Structure 1
Amino acid sequence: MLVGKIGKVYGILGWLNFFSFTENKDKIFNYLPWFILKNKKWEIIQFQKWKKHKNHFIIQINNIIDRSIAQNLVNTDIFIDKNQLPKLEKDEYYWNDIIQCKIFSTKKKYLGLVINLISNGYNDILVVRNDLQKKIMIPFIIKKIVKNIDIKNKVIIVKWN
């Protein structure tokens, strides 16, 4: 499961900017080990230290003490095993499970495919791409708008035009 991304090199000692995709950003450091896909093979990546830096983090990865070596990891996605995540309560979902779900209206009209979720501070919003390649924004409000979620079959039913 994708949980973060390594950004640009930070400084001369091999530190890297790091962006967490988890809801509570610093919880990402509880979900170890981290994996990267390198040359079509999964590799474990371990870090020595991390620090909060502005609206993201900087990390120092084991055995990387030089800016030029760290450069090889720029723009690398960080993954974890999904089993590392806490079990969810009823009617709770990981965004990763929602993405790629097909969206249908309560009138059985196909609305499109979930391509992303965003949060506006009040509630989450489904970003749906329809057959015309246009994006539709649907508030992710359980019971009021989102009537049914079937993660197993990747289908969501919404009360939407």
Structure 2
Amino acid sequence: MGKVYGILGWMNFFSFTETKEKIFSYLPWFILKNKKWDIIKLKNWKQHNSHFIIQINNIIDRSLASTWTNTDIFIDKNQLPKLYPDEYYWNDIIKCKVFNTTSKYLGRVINLISNKYNDILLIHNELKKNNIKKIMIPFINKKIVKNIDIQNKIIIVKWN
């Protein structure tokens, strides 16, 4: 959750789901606060420019809302739609080890980046001694990304 919006306890909220509004169908939300999991009960939400503003139950003013800012929300993975074969959630791909087709270790996936053409795997190689520690590989299934084994957290790519 982002910074406070107004004086009535609203907060800026940024969704990272593919269809931004879809996050509101994955209720309840959870938050880790003071090393304890709490359930967030959403009172209201509105589209605001390129993001949303939300109101949480019992958060009625700016000072209460400020205690919730700069926090991440979580959902139960079982709430997500079932995927078709060869579809993956980004969260499942992060931390996968990446090897090229000749079994050369390239690193671990630390993030995915979306652009209008295709997603990009951001890979960090903690073993490299030279300056090239991060590699960006286009996520083009079957052409560059040859195999994804989520169970064993391994991705095979056609890359040098």
* Same fold (TM > 0.5): yes
Alpha-carbon distance between aligned partners in 1 of 2:76 and 2:23, rounded to the nearest angstrom: 12
1:143 corresponding residue in structure 2: 142
Displacement of 1:130 after TM fit? 1.3
Q: Which of these residues, 6, 13, 16, is aligned with residue 11 of structure 1? A: 6
Displacement of 1:134 after TM fit? 2.1
TM-score by length of 2: 0.95
**Pair 1:71-2:80 in alignment:** no
Q: Which of these residues, 87, 93, 107, is aligned with residue 92 of structure 1? A: 87
Matches within 5 A, 1:8-87: 8-87=3-82
1:3 corresponding residue in structure 2: none
Instruction: Give CA-to-partner distance per residue, 1:17-41, whole Å, 9 cap, x none.
Output: 0011111111000001100001111
**For structure 1, which runs of at least 5 residues remain unmatched after alignment?**
1-5
Alpha-carbon distance between aligned partners in 2 of 1:95 and 1:41, rounded to the nearest angstrom: 25
1:114 corresponding residue in structure 2: 109
Instruction: Give CA-to-partner distance per residue, 1:55-96, whole Å, 9 cap, x none.
Output: 110000001110000000001100000000000001000000
**Is the partner of 1:77 in helix, strand or coil?**
coil
**For structure 2, which runs of at least 5 residues remain unmatched after alignment?**
none
Question: Amino acid of the residue matched to residue 61 of structure 2?
Answer: D
**Is the partner of 1:58 in helix, strand or coil?**
strand
Q: Comparing 131-140 with 62-71, which one deviates more in the overlay?
A: 131-140
Give the 4+ runs in structure 1 shifted more than 4 A. none
Q: Comparing 61-70 with 132-141, which one deviates more in the overlay?
A: 132-141
2:99 corresponding residue in structure 1: 104
Alpha-carbon distance between aligned partners in 2 of 1:78 and 1:38, rounded to the nearest angstrom: 10
Displacement of 1:135 after TM fit? 1.4
Instruction: Give CA-to-partner distance per residue, 1:134-153, whole Å, 9 cap, x none.
Output: 21110111110001100011
Question: Amino acid of the residue matched to residue 24 of structure 1?
Answer: T
- Aligned pair count reads 156
Q: Comparing 36-45 with 126-135, which one deviates more in the overlay?
A: 126-135
Alpha-carbon distance between aligned partners in 2 of 1:108 and 1:120, rounded to the nearest angstrom: 28
